[in-house]
Amino acid sequence: MIDHKISVELLLEEHPLAADWLLQRGIVCLRCGEPFWGSIGELLTNKGHSAESIESILNELNTHLSEVETR
């Protein structure tokens, strides 16, 4: 399960489909082919998301990835 502490780099290594999912929600985690340096929580905080919003986004992302990766 993905939580706010996972680095963006590790998230994308383990779950490459997360980049497109995040981008569809206006969250750019790659720039010039390089992942954001830091955790997904830090990235979302920098984008102005509250702790509740971050939890909601990560729950949705976990659900999406579990559905897509089990196919």
- pLDDT per residue of the chain (71 residues) written in tens, 0 to 9: 899 999 999 999 999 999 999 999 999 988 877 888 899 999 999 999 999 999 999 999 999 999 998 87
Decide: 12 and 29 in contact? Cβ < 8 Å.
yes
pTM confidence score:
0.88
Decide: 53 and 41 in contact? Cβ < 8 Å.
no
